[in-house]
Structure 1
Amino acid sequence: MHANHTFVLIHARWHGAWCWDRVAARLRHAGHQVHTPDRLGFDRLLELVETQDRPVVLAGHSSSGMTVSALAELAPHRVGLLAYVSAFLLPNGMTPPEISRADPRSILAEHVVLDERTGTMTVSAPEKVLFNACDPADAAFAASKLVPEPAPPPDLPGVELTEAGFGRIPRVYVECLADRALSPIAQRRMYTLLPCRKVYRLPADHAPFLSTPGPLADALAEAATEFAT
Structure 2
Amino acid sequence: MNHTFLLVHARWHGAWCWDRVADLLRRDGHEVLVPDRLGFAQLTALLEAQDRPVPLVGHSSSGMTISALAELLPDRVHLLAYATAFLLPGGETPREVIGADTESILTEHLVTDERTGLVTVRAPEEVFFGACTAEDAAWAAKRLVPEPAGPPDLPAVALTAERFGRVPRVYLECLADRALGPSAQRRMYTATPCRAVYRLPADHAPFLSAPRQLAEALANAT
TM class by shorter chain equals: over 0.9
Once the two structures are aligned, what percentage of the paired residues are identical?
A: 70
1:29 counterpart (27, 30, 33) = 27
Q: Distance in 2 between matches of 1:159 and 1:204?
A: 31
Structure 2 residue runs of 5 or longer lacking an equivalent are none
2:211 aligns with 213
How far apart are residue 93 of structure 1 and its match?
Answer: 1.7
Residue of structure 2 equivalent to 1:196: 194
- The residue aligned with 2:36 is 38
Look up the match of 2:86.
88
Q: Deviations over 1:51-103 (max 9, x none)?
A: 10110000000000000000000000100100000000002321111211110
> Which of 138, 153, 156 is residue 155 of structure 1 equivalent to?
153
Shift in Å, 1:152: 2.5
> Who is 1:227 aligned against?
none
Q: Does 1:8 align with 2:6?
A: yes
Over aligned residues, Cα RMSD in angstroms? 0.7
2:165 alignment counterpart: 167
Cα distance, 1:153 vs. partner? 4.0
TM-score, scaled relative to structure 2: 0.99
Q: What CA deviation, in whole Å up to 9, does each residue of 1:145-199 have, x standing for no partner?
A: 0000012345310011011110000000000000000000100000011000000
SS state of the match for residue 161, structure 2? coil
Looking at structure 1, the residues matched to 83 and 24 of structure 2 have their Cα atoms a distance apart, in angstroms, of 17
Q: Which runs of 4+ in 1 moved over 6 A?
A: none
Query: Equivalents in 1 of 2:53, 2:165: separation in Å?
Result: 16
Q: How many residues align?
A: 222
Letter in 1 for 2:64: M
Q: Distance in 1 between matches of 2:136 and 2:99?
A: 29
Contact 2:110-2:121 within 8 A present in 1 as well: yes
Provide the C-alpha distance between the structure 2 equivalents of 1:16 and 1:143, rounded to a whole number of angstroms: 12
Whether the aligned pair in 1 keeps the contact of 2:40 and 2:153 (CA below 8 Å) is no
Contact 2:94 2:151 in 1 (8 A): no
Quick one: structure 1 residues 67 and 138, their matched pair in 2 at CA, closer, same or farther if it must change by over 3 Å?
A: same
Q: Which residue of 1 aligns with 2:109?
A: 111
Q: Structure 1: 5+ residue runs without aligned partners?
A: 225-229
